[in-house]
Chain A
Amino acid sequence: MSEYPISDSDQEPEELAPMLLPLDSWHKDRGGRMVEFAGYMMPVQYEGIMAEHLWTRENAGLFDVSHMGQLYITGEGVEAALEAALPIDLSTLKTRSVRYSLLLDENGGILDDLMVTRWESGFYLVVNGATKWDDIGTLREYLPDDITLNHLDENALLALQGPKAAEALERHAPGVSALTFMKGGSFKLGGVDAWISRSGYTGEDGFEIAIPGDSAAMIADLLCGEPDVKPIGLGARDSLRLEAGLPLYGHDMDPARGPVEAGLAFGVNKRRRLEGGFPGSERVQRDFAEGTAQKRIGLKLNGRQAAREGAKVFQGEQEVGVVTSGGFSPSLQHPIAMAYVDAAFAADGTALSIELRGKKLDATVAAMPFVPNRYHR
């Protein structure tokens, strides 16, 4: 047998031995199957992707996402400096609020997607693990020298996701359940200072929890001591985010794609779209005005065979696009996918097919999210 992994390994730094995260032995003790991802050894699953996925949709799952980059940007004039680097409107971002944004290259191609939080004294960014070293380089290039960029690499990052997450976390960090979606605050969690925001990557209600790396095992134990909380691996993280319609960097977006065709126009705030003045703004403004040749869409497949990244999309004999993520949806019990297709074929309900091993599977363009989001607004 040979495997084609669908969601990792192609973005790893080459030649380097994988690094270990603070919870490495914690995962192994819990039966986590460790794989290399984004240059780190990470748990892909514990009891099984299907069970972990469904557990998260029904209860609460604890994800270790400590591979992600946590950056803290400060200095005189930081707000204007960050606006020159990202297409975000910081004038409407309140203290302790979180917003999705994009790191673009000079041509408007997507280098990464990220979360920006306004702290009292600066901005806290969470970026993808596989791209964080490049992101730091790009941001350093975009930001003036007197702006300080700290990589908070002593921090761990956990995500507690699912309909029972708030109840479980409230018992250890009183007050968190008062947060609404995309808001954060400082809390004591297990006696440790934690930055907690109501956000995540599963489509469920939930929290992301930044804590010192040396407290991570204690806090993971504390949270998994709750009967409704189980540790969940990267495999279910991938299937959950796919159902939620959330794109994965390096697969559903990359430097060849711009925010508009990627369906991430909301990552370019309105004032910035009108005024420009960020890397790649000319292309982004043009895409807004003229539309794009292709669009990112969702596809529902008939049958049970899943389409994987790279599969070609057809209408009749005409090739109209390519699958960028695909898999079997544990919640819906049929395969789903994300793809880029020519704009003429992007409307919901369009009948297409996906070529797989010489066969063509029927697929229909479907609105995303595939499974309704349940954010606590």
Chain B
Amino acid sequence: MTRYFSQEHEWIEIEGDLGTVGITDYAQGQLGDITFVDLPEAGATFGKGDSVAVVDSVKAASDVYTPVSGTIAEANGALTDEPELVNTQAETGGWLFRIRLSDASELEALMDEAAYKQYVESL
């Protein structure tokens, strides 16, 4: 399994042609208390960079963009009752959706964990 990161602070973990996407721990810290997550429906198709989900915090609503193109395979239903999982387990149990990649070469444009860490430190 390989994990990539985007400049918009999403992470994607790849297993075969399936990617699990969430927001990074850095991003949840910036947003603060998450109160609601608007999730995509399974079967919906998106292009890389499309807004796929919305994360609500007390102070703002934030778009989440998919770092790759593909079709939504599954959304994390646990977030409906426990949106705070995005705060407490941003990079594990607080994942947002799984997407079936249509173009795996898009991953090449993303960062690995070390590069993302460096990127965050530069902000």
A3 to chain B, nearest CB (A): 5
Contact B59 A49 (CB under 8 A): yes
Contact B33 A50 (CB under 8 A): yes
Contact A3 B62 (CB under 8 A): yes
Contact A306 B33 (CB under 8 A): no
Which of A322-377 touch B at CB < 8 Å?
Answer: 327-328, 330, 335, 357
Question: Which residues in A have their C-beta under 8 angstroms from that of B32?
Answer: 45, 48-50, 235
B43 to chain A, nearest CB (A): 17
Contact A5 B65 (CB under 8 A): no
Q: How distant is the Cα of A295 from the Cα of B63 in the complex, in angstroms?
A: 31
Q: How distant is the Cα of A51 from the Cα of B32 in the complex, in angstroms?
A: 10
Secondary structure at the B interface, as helix, strand, loop or mixed, is strand
Q: Of A303, A330, A357, which contacts B58 at CB under 8 A?
A: A330
Q: How distant is the Cα of A3 from the Cα of B55 in the complex, in angstroms?
A: 10
Q: How distant is the Cα of A49 from the Cα of B62 in the complex, in angstroms?
A: 16
Contact A306 B62 (CB under 8 A): no
Q: What's the tally of chain B residues with a CB closer than 8 Å to chain A?
A: 24
Q: How distant is the Cα of A48 from the Cα of B55 in the complex, in angstroms?
A: 16
Question: Which residues in B have their C-beta under 8 angstroms from that of A49?
Answer: 32-33, 57-59
Contact A4 B62 (CB under 8 A): yes
A100 to chain B, nearest CB (A): 26
Q: How distant is the Cα of A48 from the Cα of B35 in the complex, in angstroms?
A: 13
Question: Which residues in A have their C-beta under 8 angstroms from that of B27?
Answer: 1
Question: Which residues in B have their C-beta under 8 angstroms from that of A303?
Answer: 36
B54 to chain A, nearest CB (A): 7
Over the window 15-50 of chain B, the binary record of Cβ atoms lying under 8 Å from chain A Cβ atoms (1 yes, 0 no) is 000000001000100011101101000000000000
**On chain A, which size bracket covers the interface?**
20 to 34
| Chain B residue at minimal CB-CB distance from A47 | B32
Question: Which residues in B have their C-beta under 8 angstroms from that of A51?
Answer: 33
Question: Which residues in B have their C-beta under 8 angstroms from that of A48?
Answer: 32-33
Asked whether any CB of chain B lies closer than 8 Å to the CB of A2, the reply is yes
Q: Of B38, B58, B62, B64, which contacts A305 at CB under 8 A?
A: B38
Q: How distant is the Cα of A357 from the Cα of B63 in the complex, in angstroms?
A: 11
Known: A1-B27, A1-B55. A328 touches B62 (CB 8 A): no
Secondary structure at the A interface, as helix, strand, loop or mixed, is mixed
Asked whether any CB of chain B lies closer than 8 Å to the CB of A308, the reply is yes
Known: A304-B83, A357-B38, A357-B54. A4 touches B60 (CB 8 A): yes
Known: A328-B56, A357-B54. A1 touches B33 (CB 8 A): no
| Chain B residue at minimal CB-CB distance from A238 | B59
Q: How distant is the Cα of A297 from the Cα of B42 in the complex, in angstroms?
A: 37
Q: How distant is the Cα of A328 from the Cα of B84 in the complex, in angstroms?
A: 13
Most A CB within 10 A of own CB, among B10, B23, B36, B59: B59
Asked whether any CB of chain A lies closer than 8 Å to the CB of B3, the reply is no
Question: Which residues in A have their C-beta under 8 angstroms from that of B63?
Answer: 1-2
Known: A1-B10, A1-B55, A304-B83. A328 touches B61 (CB 8 A): no
A318 to chain B, nearest CB (A): 25
Q: How distant is the Cα of A360 from the Cα of B10 in the complex, in angstroms?
A: 28
Contact A1 B35 (CB under 8 A): no
B80 to chain A, nearest CB (A): 8
Known: A1-B23, A304-B83, A357-B54. A328 touches B36 (CB 8 A): yes
Contact B38 A235 (CB under 8 A): no
* A contact residues vs B (CB 8 Å cutoff): 1-7, 44-45, 48-51, 53, 235, 238-239, 303-306, 308, 327-328, 330, 335, 357
- 10 example contacts (A-B, Cβ-Cβ < 8 A) are as follows A1-B62, A1-B64, A2-B63, A48-B32, A49-B33, A50-B58, A51-B33, A304-B35, A306-B35, A330-B58
* B contact residues vs A (CB 8 Å cutoff): 8-10, 23, 27, 31-33, 35-36, 38, 54-65, 83
Closest 8 CB pairs of A and B: A50-B33, A328-B35, A304-B36, A49-B58, A305-B36, A1-B62, A3-B60, A235-B59
